[in-house]
Structure 1
């Protein structure tokens, strides 16, 4: 539980960042099977694929973390992902990184 709560298990993803496959900040990736399902549920779902996936993102620091349990969960995540893409800035990335660190230190239940 400690590992998940503090997001230590996310550290290996930094290898993907170094390889250029991911960004530190961006929409969290989903499994292909989930994407196929979400395309049918969420209008503009594929817009989130215009940028590299990230280790953390705006949706995650706004509380949409962990399992997707309802259609509203994925709809709200995608809205925040699209907002991030359309309003990207270096300052926004720094803000998301700082908020991610604070959430991990606090050990918030949904800080993964």
Structure 2
């Protein structure tokens, strides 16, 4: 919480994660999606324009241990640091005999937020 709403400080923003009460992000593209955690799992909601409300469409989201898809903007490849370039190279040309990952790039606008006590 901001101590003095008329005079917010950097200290109000830079708080430890132990004070966080919620975090999430909202993506706007072909649909508008809100992903939110309040400390008990992660849930995804999709905007239903006909209702003007977000509907729970992705309950209890989990990240898989290993994925089949990677997503990068290869137009920025010349600006990548060495570890990023190496990772993308391994996605395209795995050395362990596994199948290469599929590339998916979707332009979206993402807004990230955090709420603190």
Q: Which has the higher helix share?
A: 1
Q: Which has the higher strand share?
A: 2
Bin for the TM-score computed over the shorter chain: under 0.3
Give the alignment's TM-score, normalised by structure 1.
0.24
Give the alignment's TM-score, normalised by structure 2.
0.23
Instruction: Work out which structure has the larger RCO, using CA pairs closer than 8 Å and 6 or more positions apart in sequence.
Output: 1
Larger Rg: 2
